[in-house]
Amino acid sequence: MYFWLLLQISPKDIIMSMFLYQFVSDGIFKAELNEFLTRELAEDGYSGVEVRVTPTRTEIIILATRTQNVLGEKGRRIRELTAVVQKRFGFPEGSVEVRLVLNTGVLGIKVKIMLPWDPSGKIGPKKPLPDHVSIVEPKDEVLPTTPVSEQKGGTKPEAPVMPQGAPVPTP
């Protein structure tokens, strides 16, 4: 019975299912790795991971803002992360390379925050950058003393006079 069912599946279908299995397993690997690194490097400015697979090795590139904290003293922490990833995901010894990259956009924002705006362009950017925050004092608001209504025709009616009645007692 099983033999008959296997004959009905074409080789093209088998290859396609293996192809889809590989996509799913790669996605699960990246999701689990991202979750592990998020938990491990949350305080160190972890912002993502890239995985590059070559025939000889797998490169895992960690994107972080505080690279020195991720590296650890004399690269100890990055070696520990490499060993944990090799053991957890079943890679052979020496086939995983973990590298660390500082996001270039983050570096630009850090430099921009440090430098003030300078119209001459000598000690800072010539133009205020779009993420520049300027604090403006609020305008003095004129509060009307009596209610005023305006009509669109351009004529101003006089302010309605509100009769002053006796106050209504509340129970």
DSSP collapsed to 3 states, the chain: CHHHHHHHCCHHHHHHHHHHHHHHHHHHHHHHHHHHHHHHCHHHCEEEEEEEECCCCEEEEEEECCHHHHHCHHHHHHHHHHHHHHHHHCCCCCCEEEEEEECHHHHHHHHHHHCCCCCCCCCCCCCCCCCCCCCCCCCCCCCCCCCCCCCCCCCCCCCCCCCCCCCCCCC
HSE of 69, CA atoms in CB hemisphere, 13 A: 12
Q: Which of 64-68, 92-96, 155-159 has the lowest mean pLDDT?
A: 155-159
Does position 1 have pLDDT exceeding 50, yes or no?
no
pLDDT in tens, 49-73: 888 888 888 888 888 888 788 888 8
pLDDT value of position 109: 46
Does position 163 have pLDDT exceeding 70, yes or no?
no
Does position 88 have pLDDT exceeding 70, yes or no?
yes
- The pLDDT > 90 percentage for the chain reads 2
List, in order of start, the domains of the chain with CATH numbers: 11-102 (3.30.300.20)
Does position 46 have pLDDT exceeding 80, yes or no?
yes
Does position 5 have pLDDT exceeding 80, yes or no?
no
Does position 132 have pLDDT exceeding 50, yes or no?
yes
Q: What is the pLDDT averaged over residues 133-141?
A: 75
